[in-house]
Amino acid sequence: MFPVLPYAPFAPAFRVALPFGLLAGVHLPPGSDPVGHPAMVRLHPDERDFARTLGGFRQVQFVGGRLALGELANELGLRRGPVLPNAHGAPTLPAGFVASISHKRDLAVALVARGHEVGIGVDIEDTDRERPGVAARVLRAEELAVVQALPRDRQWVETAIRFSVKESVYKALHPFLLRYIGFGEVAVWPGLDGIDRVEPFLRGMEGPFKFEARHAWIGDRVLSMVRVRAACTAP
What is the 8-class DSSP label of residue 183?
G
**pTM recorded for the entire structure:** 0.94
Phi, psi of 35 (to 5 degrees): -70, 135
Helix (H, G, I), strand (E, B) or coil at 1: coil
Residue 235: predicted pLDDT: 37
pLDDT at 234: 38
Please check whether residue 4 is in contact with residue 218, taking contact to mean a CB–CB distance below 8 angstroms. Answer: yes
Q: Give the mean pLDDT per block of 10 residues along the chain (235 residues).
A: 91 95 96 96 96 96 96 83 89 91 96 93 95 95 98 96 98 94 97 97 96 96 97 55
pLDDT score at 75: 85
Domains in the chain and their CATH numbers? 12-116 (3.90.470.20), 122-230 (3.90.470.20)
- Of 234, 188, 233, 235, which is closest to residue 215 (Cα–Cα)? 188
Q: Write the single-letter amino acid at 120.
A: I
Count of C-beta atoms within a 10 Å radius of residue 157? 16
The secondary structure element, H or E, covering residue 166 is helix 152-177
Look at residue 89 in the predicted model and tell me its pLDDT: 86
Counting Cα atoms < 13 Å in the Cβ hemisphere of 30 gives 1
CB 222 within 8 A of CB 124: yes
pLDDT score recorded for residue 233: 43
Helix ranges restricted to H, the chain: 37-40, 45-51, 56-76, 134-138, 141-148, 152-177
Looking at residue 95, its pLDDT comes to 87
By C-alpha distance, which of 168, 196, 197, 162 is closest to 181? 168
